[in-house]
Amino acid sequence: MKMKTKLIYILTFISSSLFAQQQIDTVTIKVGEGSKVIFAIKDKKDLETMKKYDFQKLMDEMIYKLQMRDSTQLKKISSEFLKKDTVKEEVVAKQEEPAIQNNESGSGERHERKYHGRRTRNTFNVDLGTNNYLSKGSFPSQDNSLYSVRPWGSWYLGLNSIYRTRMANKFFLEWGYGMSWYNFKFQNTQTQITKDDTGVLFNLDARGYDYHKSKLTAVYLNVSLVPVFDFGSNRWKPSFFDGHRSGGFRIGVGPYAGYLIDSYSKQVYDVNNEKRKERHHDNFYLNNLRYGVRAQVGFNDIDFFFNYDLNPLFSTNKDANPNLNAFSFGITF
């Protein structure tokens, strides 16, 4: 007994010395009459980690094993519990991380982590270019028609809200809605557009003013759906307005449709050295519906677009209406 007592004293002294050297804080929780749970904390940083643990679940499993008298599994329960919690913590951190910084080259560029599944993002795009039309595959200017337009000054403008949905690794659907303006600036500034029961009429204004400009404007609400192959690294379409400029080469072709909401003619001329603007709102037998095909090719935050209307600009049920298919092209930013 004396030898056993001395051995206990020696072990107690060694344990005390080790705890003192390692500066381990211990917390003892008494349970019932003779049981207790001891926590030994070596590094205070571990306290933040402990806040994330589900100790209730751990205690439930431990009590169950003790009741089943399978205390040999307690160590296994603890290790599995900590492993699950650590994996959960890593997954949460990965989901919250927006991007992986590549600092090997010191450039500080942002690189997207690997993306799985579909996601839709929205951008605001502006189409800016010129528009014209074809009559049976040729330009009206070749026939010296009064509705021939000037390429410079016949501006096309489109304001679009575009959604981009990833369908596959490099395949996207760009779909959305917007508003566009056709501005057909006539080659002859004396051209006057009117209409009667036979259709829309293009004649020379006989009032004898000093004419500066004559044009026809048509405004549409549009929807579009363009499948796009994008070989860049981003999952969104770069835009001039949101600062995303690290895109790559992309190409797409798809349909669009529009509904006419306004149209008017406009003439600008001088009368007695006084400048006047004359505007008449009328549908001029324009088709209420337009539909066609859009092609776009882009790199970084700039796209080049080409729209071609498959149906005629004017209604075909009036004999005087010219058979014209409108088109536009320019840049999207």
pLDDT in the model for residue 134: 96
Average pLDDT of the residues in 5-31: 55
Residue 118: partners with Cβ closer than 8 Å, 6 or more residues away: 165, 166, 167
Q: Please give the Cα distance from 308 to 292 (Å, whole number).
A: 5
pLDDT in the model for residue 276: 97
Which of 8-22, 130-144, 276-290 has the weakest average pLDDT? Answer: 8-22
Which residue reads 């499948």 in tokens? 227
46-54 long-range contacts, CB within 8 A, separation 24+ = 52/85, 52/89, 53/81, 53/82, 53/85, 54/81, 54/85
pLDDT in the model for residue 108: 41
Q: How confident is the model at residue 106 (pLDDT cuts 50, 70, 90)?
A: very low
pLDDT in the model for residue 184: 98
pLDDT in the model for residue 93: 42
Does residue 280 have a pLDDT over 60? yes
Does residue 94 have a pLDDT over 60? no
Q: How confident is the model at residue 107 (pLDDT cuts 50, 70, 90)?
A: very low
Which of 35-49, 249-263, 288-302, 307-321 has the weakest average pLDDT? Answer: 35-49
Per the CB < 8 A criterion, the answer to whether 234 and 246 are in contact is yes
Does residue 113 have a pLDDT over 60? no
SS3 content of the chain, % helix, strand, coil (to 5): 20, 45, 30
Give the HSE-up count for residue 317: Cα atoms under 13 Å, Cβ half-sphere.
3
47, containing H or E segment: helix 46-50
Average pLDDT of the residues in 243-257: 81
pLDDT in the model for residue 76: 57
pLDDT in the model for residue 193: 97
Rounded percentage of the chain residues whose pLDDT exceeds 90: 55
Does residue 297 have a pLDDT over 70? yes
Q: How confident is the model at residue 234 (pLDDT cuts 50, 70, 90)?
A: low
Supply the mean pLDDT for the chain.
Answer: 80
Per the CB < 8 A criterion, the answer to whether 175 and 162 are in contact is yes
Does residue 100 have a pLDDT over 50? no
Does residue 290 have a pLDDT over 80? yes
Q: How confident is the model at residue 236 (pLDDT cuts 50, 70, 90)?
A: low
Does residue 154 have a pLDDT over 60? yes
Give the model confidence (pLDDT) of 186-232 as tens digits: 999 999 999 999 999 999 999 999 999 999 999 999 999 999 999 88
pLDDT in the model for residue 203: 97
Higher local confidence (pLDDT), 147 or 102: 147
**Could you tell me the pTM of the whole model?**
0.64
